[in-house]
Amino acid sequence: MQTTITGKAYVLGDNVDTDQIIPAQYLTYNPAVAEEYKMFGKYALSSVPPAQAGLPKGHVPFHTRDEFVSDYQIIIGGKNFGCGSSREHAPIALDAAGIKCVIAEFYARIFFRNSVNGGYIIPFETPDRLCEQICTGDELKVDVATGVLSNLTTKETWKLKPLGEVAPIIDAGGIFAYAKKVGMLKV
């Protein structure tokens, strides 16, 4: 696991669902095939309504060009991030798009577990409503070990909630890597 994540913020609001993260028409791609895995990144967040994307600045596209990887590395969300279907492709799409972590007030349980278990992105929770304090494009730094988020653009800092019992799973790179590491699975 990275100890520090730096990059540009992409800000979203409440109730970003898995259909917005990766629309159903793109689920024909197979994430086990490298050439198809990157297609998830190309279409990540392509169904987020304009009123939702880039808050509080207003609509800002997640992809500035027809590329597979976004210019953003950190998503700031509101409440109930990843709600909707139990689609495991949602954290895959964010990972394929170059997202390293999502910081939200709270997550839909299945999205949170899919993120951790697959080792795709780090899902931090925050006690603060950051989607109204951080702007899309702000340069952020996350100290993963201490759970401190710094906005390098505005010089503000916030303490994130500890990762708790999922930290070793994230550190190992997902649930299967963790199970091998601790001897739960024979290699």
Report pLDDT for 185: 85
Amino acid 51: pLDDT:
65
Query: Which pLDDT score is estimated for 70?
Result: 94
Q: Per the domain annotation, does 179 fall within a domain?
A: no
Number of domains in the chain: 1
CB 25 within 8 A of CB 46: no
**Average pLDDT score over the chain:** 92
Nearest to 102, CA basis, from 3, 9, 2: 9
The answer to whether the pTM exceeds 0.85 is yes
Neighbour count for residue 54 (Cβ, 10 Å)? 21
Q: What is the pLDDT of residue 87?
A: 82
For residue 47, what pLDDT is reported?
Answer: 87
pLDDT at 77: 97
Q: Sorting pLDDT into bands at 50, 70 and 90, what band is 75?
A: very high
pLDDT of 56 above 70: no
Say if 33 falls within a structural domain.
yes
The structure tokens listed for 108 are 């839909």
In-domain check, residue 169: no
Local confidence band at 54 (pLDDT 50, 70, 90 cut-offs): low
Q: What is the pLDDT of residues 8-42, one digit of tens each?
A: 999 999 999 999 999 999 999 999 999 999 999 99
Beta-carbon neighbour count of residue 107 at 10 Å? 21
Q: How far apart are CA 46 and CA 172, in angstroms?
A: 30
CA distances (Å), origin 122, targets 30, 109, 169, 184: 22, 14, 10, 23
Range of the domain at 154: 4-162
Q: What is the pLDDT of residue 63?
A: 84
From the list 81, 76, 72, 80, the residue with the least C-alpha distance to 99 is 72
Tell me what pLDDT residue 73 has. Answer: 97
Identify the CATH number of the domain in which residue 52 sits: 3.20.19.10
Q: What is the pLDDT confidence band of residue 2, given thresholds at 50, 70 and 90?
A: confident
- Assigned domain for 172 exists: no
Closest CA to 120 of 151, 149, 99, 148: 99
Cβ–Cβ under 8 Å, residues 24 and 90: no
Q: Is residue 152 part of a domain?
A: yes
Question: 72 lies in a domain?
Answer: yes
Number of other CB atoms surrounding residue 160 within 10 Å? 21
Q: Quick check: is 168 in a domain? A: no
Whether residue 173 lies inside any domain: the answer is no
More confident residue, 64 or 31: 31
